[in-house]
Amino acid sequence: MATIDYKQFITKDLTSLANDSIAELIEKAKKYDDVVSLGRGEPNFDMAKFMKDAMICAIKENQTHYVSGSIPELNGAIADKLKNENGLHIDSQFRIVVGAGSLPVLQAIIGAIVEPGEEIIVTDPTYLKYISIIRSMHAKPKFAIVYEENNFIPTVEELEKAYTNKTKAIMVNSPCNPTGAVFTKKQLEEIAEFAIEKNIIVITDEVYENIIYDDAKHYSIGSFDSDISERTITLNSFSKSYAMTGLRVGYAAGPIELMKHVFNYNYFGHICACVPSMYAALEALTNPKSKEFVQSMVKEYDRRRKFIVKRLNEIGLPTKMPKGAFYTFSRCDNFDKNSHNFANNVLEKSHVIVIPGSAFGPHGEGFVRISYATKYEQIEEAMDRMEKLLK
């Protein structure tokens, strides 16, 4: 029987994607029985009981059938949230699309607005899934370098370098994964002016909006004025703020002339998110207890943040204090300029998972992303092990 070369059937864009460093390290770590993971960006908290109860109630009431995109009550609650908390202008020309997590919705956005070969500006370093999704959709990420000395915030000069006549959109992520940066209003206004001048779409990923610290404040770029709101798609999720990662509910909102096509692409892909999960999401937005639930998580993240930044700097991994999300982006180049080698060394000798910065773009090299979305005691143990290895 003839041997089939299956590579001929797989798209070049997909085969060119780098392996997921997080999944790779976690798989490698399975051979150790005492691993402490500071890798995944997943809250170690459980979803609140009142959200679980809403989901269970939906199942008992047989809310387990197809819906057309979303349950209407959830769309209404999201609209109220975006208006009251984010300052977005909600009117008849505005539309919300709900999907099975923010990443499938982002894929629908890119599929709806970007032709093969067109480009999307992302920061470098950036969230690694942006790169993968853009390339898998036969588009191209164009990197705008961000620098530690500028608190990992993109400048207009770097955006100009990344822009070409093929640029269709720009990705904004604040609070940011992997750097923990939070953009100020002035910085977002400069990005808005750039997008208007270049006539491109802004896709703003705000999944960490509730996880901010100190004097930082979250701003939605789509709230500034009609000029920018008419070209902005706001992306969000229930995963991080409400510890609902496995329930897979995300959404996007923006001008109806864009979002009706995003809806179609999303609908073709998976019809709707899990219906009982959407009832849990509805409860998250409407139950008054949610605010206290989120605040308690952020308070604990803040405690971990202060501890881990102090210890990392003492160990010799220079680390800026993140303003948002639950990651540090720490320098490792004084130990090893190759962040992948550094992460492997830490795993093999200390049984601690950290993620190489190179996974987040070329200029993430020399850094490691370290998540403090795990128990305080495990962070202490991880720091002790890394200190023993590195010092």
Residue-wise pLDDT for 117-154, tens only, equals 999 999 999 999 999 999 999 999 999 999 999 999 99
Evaluate whether the domain defined by 49-288 bears CATH number 3.20.20.220. no
Average pLDDT over residues 238-245: 97
Residue 349 banded pLDDT, cuts 50, 70, 90:
very high
Kindly tell me the burial class for residue 291, based on how many C-beta atoms sit within 10 Å of its own C-beta (0-12, 13-18, 19 or more).
exposed
Closest-CA residue to 332 (of 308, 358, 367) = 367
**Where do the CATH 3.90.1150.10 domains begin and end in the chain?**
6-46+291-390
Do the beta carbons of residue 316 and residue 391 sit within 8 Å? yes
Q: Which residue has the higher pLDDT, 25 or 242?
A: 242
Q: Which residue has the higher pLDDT, 2 or 32?
A: 32
Query: What number of other Cβ atoms are within 10 A of residue 92's Cβ?
Result: 6
Closest-CA residue to 298 (of 216, 369, 383, 384) = 216
Residue 21 banded pLDDT, cuts 50, 70, 90:
low
Q: What is the pLDDT of residue 29?
A: 85
What separation in angstroms does the CA of 225 have from each of 169, 175, 217, 230?
18, 21, 18, 9
Instruction: Say which range, 18-22, 140-144, 336-340, 352-356, has the weakest mean pLDDT.
Output: 18-22
Residue-wise pLDDT for 56-100, tens only, equals 999 999 999 999 889 999 999 999 999 999 999 888 889 999 999
SS (H, E, C) 131-148: HHHHHHCCCEEEEEECCH
Residue 301 banded pLDDT, cuts 50, 70, 90:
very high
The rounded mean pLDDT for the chain is 95
Residue 302 has pLDDT above 90, yes or no: yes
Report d(CA 104, CA 115) in Å as an integer. 17
Residue 1 has pLDDT above 80, yes or no: no
DSSP state of 269: H
What pTM was computed for the model?
A: 0.94
CATH topology of domain 6-46+291-390: Aspartate Aminotransferase, domain 1 (3.90.1150)
Residue 246 banded pLDDT, cuts 50, 70, 90:
very high
**Where do the CATH 3.40.640.10 domains begin and end in the chain?**
49-288
Residue 49 has pLDDT above 70, yes or no: yes
The tokens for 211 are: 């996880």
**Dihedral sign (CA 34, 322, 154, 88):** positive
Do the beta carbons of residue 274 and residue 248 sit within 8 Å? yes
Residue-wise pLDDT for 101-113, tens only, equals 999 999 999 999 9
Residue 384 has pLDDT above 80, yes or no: yes
Q: What is the pLDDT of residue 92?
A: 83
SS3 141: strand
Residue 179 banded pLDDT, cuts 50, 70, 90:
very high
Report d(CA 39, CA 368) in Å as an integer. 10
Q: What is the pLDDT of residue 354?
A: 96
Q: N- to C-terminal Cα distance for the chain?
A: 58
